């Protein structure tokens, strides 16, 4: 049967059909719309049937329509909105999968008429925007809304929203666990998790962080504050010589301000001279020795010994070695900070065999302001 004949038949039987037959009608017109209709007239006929079914008094008819047309781009926009604002059983498939509803319309549903079930459906959508994420956290009717959002790895969640989650839900172990387990969380936010929550939850979260990143509590606390390190290292943005790097390292060591977080931040920002001088001075090794060790084709026991003597996180020796080698390449040398952190993030992703703590270092890179510029 041709689409035009089927559409004419479907349209003619609607008024006299039973609820069961109208559900079958919804299935048939939905199946017909799975492929682009061959003419504007046929599309108009299909839309007329769909709009009639969307007004059907029988809930099961509207629910069938919503289920079958949830991701169909030929669904009329006004019908999509009508179904999205219907009762939960009808609205949820549309809210979760329909791309016809824009950000402004989703925000209205979240803030004005959104039940927890509707908010959860929106939190499951692909590529949830930062504005929608913030609205879901602000107006969440239930903790499950927030945990669903955090478990959606395609959702865009700003640092401000993550911090708001910590402030609002520090007493919820389920929410904090979902936050810690998310693929990309700024280390500053993780630090807030471990300082804002109760002692019972803190122990559980530190255990999760250690499990996820292979990171001890001591290691976590020593590299958790990058903001001060970034401000300090900006001195080297315009002064890139060996002399300038050595002078800054010397000053930090002599004033006892050199800490692992400064070293690690310098490494991630591509401050190669600073990194080598830090290892040299803290390990009491000649600068030339550090350069020779870094010129090798693989991490050596000597490199691990130097990091240990310097107090610079020797458990990350392999990662630090390969990052140190990469920031000496033409992909990084002379490039701006944004290019450097992006290139390093990509390099780590492409060479997982070189980075046993790849997930952790990618998280650190993603937390750098330059990564988000």
Helix (H, G, I), strand (E, B), or coil: what is residue 101? coil
Q: What is the pTM of this model?
A: 0.64
Calpha distance 45→17 (Å, rounded): 18
Place of tokens 């047309």: 69
Calpha distance 323→74 (Å, rounded): 50
**Greatest extent of the chain over all pairs of C-alpha atoms, in Å:** 93
| Cβ(337)–Cβ(267) below 8 Å | no
Least confident range from 34-38, 223-227, 244-248, 275-279: namely 223-227
pLDDT value, residue 372: 64
Taking the alpha carbons of 361, 367, 369, 373 in that order, is the dihedral positive or negative? Answer: positive
DSSP H/E element including 282: helix 272-283
Nearest to 287 by CA among 259, 330, 257, 249: 249
> What mean pLDDT, rounded, does the chain reach?
85
> What's the mean pLDDT in 192-204?
80
pLDDT at 2 over 60: no
The tens digit of pLDDT for each residue in 301-327 reads 999 999 999 998 888 999 999 999 999
pLDDT value, residue 73: 92
Nearest to 229 by CA among 373, 363, 368, 346: 368
> What's the mean pLDDT in 280-295?
95
84 vs 8, which has greater pLDDT? 84
Calpha distance 279→33 (Å, rounded): 66
pLDDT at 230 over 90: no
Q: What is the DSSP letter of 142?
A: S
The tens digit of pLDDT for each residue in 330-369 reads 988 888 888 998 999 999 999 999 999 888 888 778 777 7
> Could you state, in order of their start, the residue ranges of all structural domains in the chain?
3-101, 137-213, 227-372
pLDDT at 1 over 50: no
Query: Phi and psi at residue 49, in whole multiples of 5°?
Result: -65, -45
Token pair for 278: 């830090």
pLDDT value, residue 8: 64
Calpha distance 259→69 (Å, rounded): 58
The tens digit of pLDDT for each residue in 68-104 reads 999 999 999 999 999 999 999 999 999 999 999 999 9
The tens digit of pLDDT for each residue in 157-180 reads 998 999 999 999 998 999 999 998
The tens digit of pLDDT for each residue in 265-274 reads 889 888 899 9
Kindly provide the b/e burial profile for residues 331-345, where b requires at least 16 CB atoms within 10 angstroms of the residue's own CB: bbeeeebeebbbbbb
> What's the mean pLDDT in 202-220?
72
pLDDT at 58 over 80: yes
210 vs 47, which has greater pLDDT? 47
pLDDT at 201 over 90: no
When pLDDT is cut at 50, 70 and 90, the band that residue 39 belongs to is confident
| Cβ(85)–Cβ(110) below 8 Å | no
pLDDT at 191 over 70: yes
Calpha distance 53→49 (Å, rounded): 6
As separate numbers, helices (DSSP H) first and strands (DSSP E) second, the chain gives 25, 0
Calpha distance 373→366 (Å, rounded): 11
Calpha distance 153→160 (Å, rounded): 17
Q: Determine what percent of the chain is predicted with pLDDT higher than 70.
A: 86
pLDDT value, residue 256: 83
When pLDDT is cut at 50, 70 and 90, the band that residue 214 belongs to is low
pLDDT at 57 over 50: yes
């Amino acid at each position: 049967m041709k689409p035009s004949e089927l559409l004419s038949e479907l349209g003619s039987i609607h008024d006299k059909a039973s609820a069961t037959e109208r559900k079958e009608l919804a299935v048939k017109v939905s199946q017909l719309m799975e492929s682009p209709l061959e003419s504007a007239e046929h599309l108009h006929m299909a839309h007329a049937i769909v709009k009639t079914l969307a007004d059907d008094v029988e809930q099961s008819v509207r629910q069938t329509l919503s289920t079958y047309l949830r991701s169909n781009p030929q669904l009329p926009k006004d019908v999509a909105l009508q179904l999205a604002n219907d009762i939960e059983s009808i609205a949820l498939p549309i809210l979760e999968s329909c791309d016809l509803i824009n950000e402004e319309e989703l925000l209205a549903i979240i803030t004005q008429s959104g039940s927890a079930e509707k908010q959860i459906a929106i939190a499951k959508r692909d590529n949830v925007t930062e504005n929608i994420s913030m609205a879901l956290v602000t107006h969440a009717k239930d903790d499950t809304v927030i945990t669903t959002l955090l478990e959606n790895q395609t959702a865009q969640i700003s640092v401000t929203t993550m911090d708001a989650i910590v402030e609002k839900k520090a007493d919820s172990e389920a929410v904090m666990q979902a936050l810690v387990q998310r693929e990309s969380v700024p280390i500053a936010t993780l630090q807030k998790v471990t300082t804002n929550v109760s002692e019972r939850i803190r122990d559980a979260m530190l255990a999760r962080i250690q499990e996820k990143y292979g990171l001890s509590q001591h290691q976590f606390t020593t590299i958790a504050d990058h903001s001060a390190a970034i401000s300090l290292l900006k001195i080297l943005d315009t002064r890139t010589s060996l002399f300038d790097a050595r002078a800054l390292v010397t000053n930090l060591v002599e004033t006892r301000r050199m800490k692992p977080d400064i070293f690690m931040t310098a490494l991630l920002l591509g401050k190669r001279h600073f990194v080598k001088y830090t290892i040299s001075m803290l390990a009491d090794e000649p600068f030339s020795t550090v350069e020779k060790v870094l010129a090798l084709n693989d991490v050596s026991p000597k490199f691990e010994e130097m990091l240990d003597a310097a107090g610079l996180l020797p458990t990350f020796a392999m990662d630090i070695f390969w990052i140190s080698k990469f920031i000496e390449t033409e992909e990084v040398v002379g490039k701006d900070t944004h290019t450097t952190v992006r290139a390093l993030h990509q390099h780590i992703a492409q060479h997982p065999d070189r980075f046993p703590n790849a997930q952790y270092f990618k998280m650190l890179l993603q937390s750098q302001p330059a990564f988000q510029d």
